[in-house]
């Protein structure tokens, strides 16, 4: 397993990281099996384990805590906060977001669930338009100085907000963000246009997620076949709705990429994972296996490197800097989703 330095932190992390969103109620509900999966990844050289307080309502953090209890110093432990944990109290606006009040509570709760005294990388899970970035950086800086978290990062932040955060940290003498965690795959290359160059400019480590585009890049979904709409797929139907032009483009691209993978003697899954790790801005690719078989197959791509000819051919299938289905982006900018922010109101003056 190759190791890379995480931004300017001095922390070395594995080229492939283990994501845990599918452990617990959202996927593998067998805790013993999930613990075995995590420990198998560690045995294979994976040292970065990424989770979040919202995954399975905190259950994923509990599983991670069990798995690393006797191996804590081997693990670069990353988690995230922002979303509400208890969906029964989803209406409480003070139990979410990036405010000092909520993040202080969220970090303490994560430490308890993980059974540890420190978090190596704490990430704000999404931007929060209701909280000034100065407040968010202020509380995270205090938690770093208290020794509860070692480094801080973001997830799904647009490039301009990454720049603003760096500027605020410098001017207000806060600890700056060290990492960004965006979605990135053969089908979602939009980050190449702005987020990746911004991360490189400011020395941010980049941890990418969804390298298989929710299963599309395993070759599971092919033209002429219906997609079974599981509970998860119904919840994010825009990623699988075949009436959307973007998903039709994905069907076409799957055929061309699968043929390219066959020519190279590799699986489409391995081609996709190797591609995600190739960009010079990317520090680590977060895998999201639900089973040990999924993990073993994905880890087998760790030594695969793509040559320039293969990468050039990939560029002819998916243009650099583009997303085949823009709806796949989970973070929707309020400036686009809230009509009131796009419509000037009459002032009432003559």
Kindly write down the DSSP assignment for every residue of 306-350, as one continuous string. --HHHHHHHHHHS-TT-BSSGGG-S---HHHH-GGGG-PPP----
Domains of the chain: 11-342 (3.20.20.100)
Quick one: pLDDT at residue 88?
55
How big is the CA angle at 61 (ends 58 and 67), to the nearest 5 degrees? 145
Q: In whole angstroms, give the CA distance from residue 151 to residue 140.
A: 9
pLDDT of residue 87: 58
Of 3, 55, 122, 331, the active-site residue reads 55
Residue 89 is predicted with a pLDDT of 57
Dihedral sign computed on CA atoms, order 116, 122, 124, 125 = negative
pLDDT the model gives residue 310:
97
pLDDT at 37: 97
Residue 264: what pLDDT?
Answer: 96
Angle between helices 268-276 and 292-299 (to 10 degrees): 60
Which pLDDT value is given to residue 331?
Answer: 87
Compute, in degrees rounded to 10, the torsion defined by CA atoms 292, 294, 299, 305. 170
Place of tokens 């647009």: 158
pLDDT of 295 reads: 96
Q: Are 328 and 200 in contact (CB under 8 A)?
A: no
* Under 8 Å between Cβ of 286 and 207: yes
Q: Residue 330: which of 243, 235, 252, 254 has the closest Cα?
A: 235
- DSSP type of residue 131: S
Close Cβ partners of 51 (under 8 Å, ≥ 6 residues apart)? 19, 20, 21, 60, 61, 64, 78, 79, 80, 114
Known catalytic residue at 55: yes
- Exposed (0-12), middle (13-18) or buried (19+): which is 47, by Cβ within 10 Å? buried
Return the pLDDT at 223.
86
Query: What does each C-alpha distance from 130 to 94, 96, 136, 172, 204 come to in angstroms?
Result: 11, 11, 11, 19, 24
pLDDT along the chain (350 residues), means of 10: 96 98 90 97 98 94 97 97 75 87 96 98 96 98 98 97 98 98 97 98 98 94 82 82 91 96 97 98 96 95 97 98 92 87 77
Burial class (CB in 10 A: 0-12, 13-18, 19+), 105: middle
pTM attached to this predicted model: 0.93
Residue 97 is predicted with a pLDDT of 93
Give the model's pLDDT for residue 350. Answer: 54
């Amino acid at each position: 397993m190759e190791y890379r330095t995480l931004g300017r932190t001095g922390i070395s992390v594995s080229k492939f990281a283990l994501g845990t969103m599918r452990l617990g109620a959202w996927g593998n509900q067998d805790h013993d099996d999930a613990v075995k999966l995590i420990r198998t990844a560690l045995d294979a050289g994976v040292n970065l384990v990424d989770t979040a307080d919202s995954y399975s309502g905190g259950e994923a953090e509990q599983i991670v805590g069990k798995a690393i209890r006797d191996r804590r110093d081997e693990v670069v432990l990353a988690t995230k906060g922002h979303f509400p944990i208890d969906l029964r109290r989803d209406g409480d606006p003070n139990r979410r977001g990036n405010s000092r009040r909520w993040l202080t509570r969220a970090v303490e709760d994560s430490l308890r669930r993980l059974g540890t005294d420190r978090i190596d990388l704490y990430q704000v899970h999404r931007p929060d338009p209701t909280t000034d970035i100065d407040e968010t950086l202020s509380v995270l800086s205090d938690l770093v100085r208290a020794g509860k978290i070692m480094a801080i990062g973001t997830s799904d932040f647009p490039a301009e907000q990454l720049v603003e955060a760096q500027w605020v940290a410098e001017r207000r003498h806060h600890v700056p963000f060290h990492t960004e965690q965006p979605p990135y795959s053969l089908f979602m290359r939009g980050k190449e246009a702005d987020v990746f160059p911004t991360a490189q400019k400011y020395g941010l480590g980049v941890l990418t997620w969804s390298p298989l585009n929710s299963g599309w890049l395993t070759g599971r979904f092919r033209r002429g076949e219906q997609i079974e709409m599981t509970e998860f797929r119904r919840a994010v139907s825009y990623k699988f709705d075949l009436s959307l032009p973007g998903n039709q483009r994905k069907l076409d691209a799957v055929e061309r990429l699968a043929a390219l993978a066959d020519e190279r003697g590799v699986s489409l899954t391995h081609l996709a994972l190797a591609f995600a790790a190739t960009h010079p801005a990317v520090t680590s690719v977060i895998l999201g296996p639900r089973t040990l078989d999924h993990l073993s197959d994905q880890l087998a791509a760790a030594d695969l490197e793509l040559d320039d000819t293969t990468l050039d051919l990939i560029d002819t299938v998916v243009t650099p800097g583009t997303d085949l289905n823009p709806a796949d982006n989970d973070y929707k900018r309020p400036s686009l989703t809230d009509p009131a922010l796009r419509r000037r109101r009459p002032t009432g003056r003559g």
